[in-house]
Chain A
Amino acid sequence: QKEVEQDPGPLSVPEGAIVSLNCTYSNSAFQYFMWYRQYSRKGPELLMYTYSSGNKEDGRFTAQVDKSSKYISLFIRDSQPSDSATYLCAMSEWYSGNTPLVFGKGTRLSVIA
């Protein structure tokens, strides 16, 4: 079993739809959770991060962490064609600055105008 599981998609939705992206993980020591957006042939861009369980909202984006279920989600409201990209979840244990991130495979999202 991989440490982080993420459905690679592709996921295709109409403009304006609510998008739900998810990851599950096996390491209960993970406490720091991130979502990155990656456009084709570009480096990942940090969208949101959360520490431990709970919700965090930033504009059209909401990140949720359920540590009891080892499940994290990213919701995108009022999706736009410009949201079309690959979304990667990443996580790490709260440790020193040397702790690398563990990434999911990424979910390819297409928002159709």
Chain B
Amino acid sequence: GAVVSQHPSWVICKSGTSVKIECRSLDFQATTMFWYRQFPKQSLMLMATSNEGSKATYEQGVEKDKFLINHASLTLSTLTVTSAHPEDSSFYICSARAPQSGPNYEQYFGPGTRLTVT
């Protein structure tokens, strides 16, 4: 089956520093990846849609200069949280669509990265 990995799984950083999170599709090529943020006991909130070779599309209210997304290859997208603050502490999850014909294009999720900003 389609597997998506994330690295790191857990990171603690100091306020003001930057953190990079990687999302990889291990056994398929993903032209589109999505980045979500999830606060405790809340649902997934879409942050941005990442397309290989082009700029990401950010959801309303998400600062594109703070959350830098790069999708340089068909198997890797990165999210960099710049100048992190404690309110950025959250669970960040990526997902990727497995290319399919017809309407059945499932979306597979990574295991998530827990970011704690102190």
Chain A contact-residue range equals 20 to 34
Contact A43 B109 (CB under 8 A): yes
Contact B108 A103 (CB under 8 A): no
Q: List CB contacts (< 8 Å) of A76-113 with chain B.
A: 88, 90, 94, 97-98, 100-101, 103-106, 108
Q: In the complex the two chains form, what is the Cα distance from A42 to B95 in whole Å?
A: 13
Query: Which of A11-19, A45-53, A66-74 is the interface stretch?
Result: A45-53
**Chain A CB within 8 A of B42 CB:** yes
Binary CB contact string for chain B from 13 to 54 against chain A (1 if under 8 A, 0 otherwise) = 000000000000000000110100000011110100101000
Contacts of B97 in A (CB 8 A): 97
Provide 29 A-B residue pairs closer than 8 Å at the C-beta atoms, listed in order of the A residue. A6-B43, A32-B103, A34-B107, A36-B109, A41-B114, A42-B111, A42-B112, A43-B4, A43-B93, A43-B110, A43-B111, A43-B112, A45-B109, A46-B107, A46-B108, A49-B106, A51-B104, A88-B43, A88-B44, A97-B99, A97-B105, A98-B32, A98-B51, A100-B34, A100-B46, A100-B49, A101-B34, A105-B43, A106-B43
Write the residues of chain A forming the contact surface with B, with a CB cutoff of 8 angstroms: 6, 8, 31-32, 34, 36, 41-46, 49, 51, 88, 90, 94, 97-98, 100-101, 103-106, 108
